[in-house]
Amino acid sequence: MSGERPSTPAELFDLSGRVALVTGGTRGLGHEIVLAFAAAGADIVVSSRKQEACEQVAEEVRALGREALPQACHVGSWEQVDALADAAFERFGRVDVLVNNAGIAPLYPDPLGLTEELWEKTMAVNVKGPYRLTAKVATRMAEGEGGSVINISSVGATLVRGDSLAYGAAKAGLNALTVGFAEAFGPKVRVNCIMCGPFATDISEHWDWDAFEHSARAFALRRAGQPPEIAGAALYFASNASSFTTGTILPVDGGQSSARPDSGDAGQFTSN
C-alpha cells in the first residue's frame, strides 16, 4: 500500500491473506496478539519454548477459522531461530508480519548479584534472538512483497532500576535495533516497536501489588493495562493502517513513561 485509500476502516486493519509469526505467543501479551491477528484474518506461526503450549494456542487459532503452525523455539539460540524462520517459510511460503515478543525480565539483589550466566541469558532472549530472527525474516520480506516487524519492548528501557540493569540494557538495545532495522530494510519492510508499560499478565502474579498501586497513582490512567489492550497497537503496526510509519517506538503504558517524578519504583513492573 502506498497512499491509496481503503474503502472502509475495517479494510485498513484487515490482515486477510497474511501470515504472522509471533514469538512468545502462548501466554501474556503474545497470546493476545496471536488471537487479535487471527481474528483480523491472518494465519499464524505460534512460537514459544514449549511445543505443547504452541499446539494448544494453534488450536485456538484454527477455531477462529485460520491456519496455524505451532513451532517451539528458544529464541536465545540462533540455530533454533533459523529453524523457526525456515519452518515458517516452508509451511506458508511467506511471512508478512513478525512480532518479536519473547522476553525475560530477571531480577537480582544488587549489581554484583547479577551473574554472567543471567546477563548472557537476558541479552540472548531479549536482543540476540530478535536480531537474528529479524535479519532472517525481514531479508526475505524485502526480497518479496515487503512486510512489518513489530518489536515488543518495555518502559524498563528508559525507567531503569538498579535491580533490572540487564533487562533495561536489553530492551534499550531492542529499541535501537528497531530504528536501525527500519533503515536497513526500508522501503519495503516497516519496523516498529511497542514499548509496553505494566500489564496484568501471568508475570504480574509476582508483583507487590500494594507497591504497584502506590506507584500507579503517578500514571495518567492510574492502573495496569489489561492484556487485550495491547491488540490495537499491534494491529496498527501489522496492518496498512501504519503504512507510513516505521522506526517508531510507541509507548503503550497508561502514561507511565510520562509520569510525574514521584512515580517511585514503577520501572520494576514489567510485562514481558
**Which residues have a catalytic role annotated?**
167
Q: Are 173 and 127 in contact (CB under 8 A)?
A: yes
| 146 Ramachandran zone, left/alpha/beta (phi>0; psi -120 to 50) | left
As separate numbers, helices (DSSP H) first and strands (DSSP E) second, the chain gives 9, 7
Structural contact between residues 101 and 91, judged by C-beta atoms closer than 8 angstroms: no
DSSP codes joined into one string, 57-93: HHHHHHHTT--EEE----TT-HHHHHHHHHHHHHHHS
Question: How far is it, in rounded angstroms, from Cα 21 to Cα 85?
Answer: 9
Q: Which of 63, 67, 64, 59 is nearest to 21 (CA)?
A: 67
User: In the chain, which ranges are continuous DSSP H helix?
Assistant: 9-12, 28-39, 51-63, 78-92, 116-123, 129-143, 165-185, 209-216, 231-238
* Rounded Cα gap, residues 222 and 220, in angstroms: 6
CA-to-CA distance for 271 and 257, rounded, in angstroms? 14
- Say whether 136 sits in a helix, a strand or coil: helix
